[in-house]
Amino acid sequence: MQQTQAITSSLPCNLCGGHDVSVLATQSRNGGPLRSVICNSCGLVWSDPFPHDPRQFYEHDYRVEYKNTYAPKPKHILRAGKIALDRHAKIKHFLRDSKQVLDVGTGGGEFAYLLKSLGHDLQGIEPNKGYAEYSAAEYGLNLQIGFIQDATLPTEHFDLITIWHVLEHTEDPSLVLRNLRSWLKPDGILVVEVPSIEATCQAPKSTFHEAHLYNFNLETLRKMGEKAGLMEHSHLFSADGGNMTIFFQRANANNSALEDLRIEGNAARIQAIVHGHTNTAHFLTATPYQRFVQRMGRALSEKIALKNFDNNKALLDQLYQSCKSN
């Protein structure tokens, strides 16, 4: 098994504040240098040092680098629309009546538009100017362009707050969770979805990359929520284990002064999973071949679906039709 090297981090652990870390990896998925470390006290994983200026990267560069576009293309909208339906299925039991909803990291606006079209009072926040301007104009969304860390919103205002695959991109996830808690009504629900550092559905070389500043497992995400004054309502994992969704409620008090933020044995658990996820182990399973077939099938179905549409809003309206009629 690959051995970890005990070192001291340049950044304190965002969960427990410690500097005692071990190196998990030294390369990103594109083969470039990226030092990923794990806190030996609690198991939080992060890039140390950060590989870029997060504000500059997410405001200007992220969408172009990962999508090759400043505004979403039709195929991105179709994919995101299908993901929006899946996300709605996870939270619809919290949406029986019209709700005040905050969607953090609205992206191209597909999920926000779905909730708006279902009659909810939707407000969004998106740091990327191109995507935010596009979605506000295309779908008439109420958006703030900027970072969640800087947002000024009314306290105890939202029935539901969603933050899908955003927390891992922020430079201070503990601060983000504290802010979200303050905007949540006492009986509200905060939905946080992030990739799991324990996932083995992806190729081993794809585990770490520059866009994810932090990596969580269920234990570190739960503990970070507790630190911010939140308590777990429930959680679930995606079918392939790649993503985890945790539903938080407000705790009775803000627990930012928690004395013990260590998670005994968590670092060793994560290290064993990451180092045990080798190319040999991965490619002897059915997972990579199933993912390849799924990608090919998706490409074909997208080509067929997009043939009859030249209007992005109309594409989503048809996709969401069954959801709206229920």
CATH assignment of the domain containing 105: 3.40.50.150
> How does strand 121-126 pair with strand 143-145?
parallel
pLDDT band, residue 1 (cuts 50/70/90):
very low
Q: Is residue 39 part of a domain?
A: no
CA nearest 275: which of 34, 46, 25? 25
Q: Is residue 299 part of a domain?
A: yes
Share of the chain above pLDDT 70, in %: 90
pLDDT at 55: 77
Least confident interval from 235-239, 246-250, 292-296? 292-296
Q: Is residue 19 part of a domain?
A: no
Least confident interval from 31-40, 123-132, 248-257? 248-257
Q: What is the tens place of the pLDDT at every residue in 43-84?
A: 999 999 998 887 777 766 665 555 555 567 888 899 999 999
What span, in angstroms and rounded, lies between the C-alpha atoms of 227 and 201?
30
Q: Is residue 32 part of a domain?
A: no
Question: What average pLDDT does the segment 21-47 reach?
Answer: 95
pLDDT at 81: 94
As a whole number, the mean pLDDT across the chain is: 89
Question: Is the model's pTM score more than 0.75?
Answer: yes
Q: Is residue 17 part of a domain?
A: no
Backbone CA torsion sign across 240, 96, 106, 307: positive
Q: Is residue 129 part of a domain?
A: yes
Q: CA 205 → CA 122, 239, 281, 323, distances in Å?
A: 38, 21, 13, 38
Question: What average pLDDT does the segment 233-252 reach?
Answer: 96
Per the structure block, which two tokens stand in for 24?
């998990």
pLDDT at 2: 47
**319: helix, strand or coil:** helix
**19: helix, strand or coil:** coil
Domain carrying residue 241: 53-269+286-325
Q: Is residue 277 part of a domain?
A: no
Q: Is residue 11 part of a domain?
A: no
Least confident interval from 31-45, 231-245, 309-323? 309-323
Domain count, the chain: 1
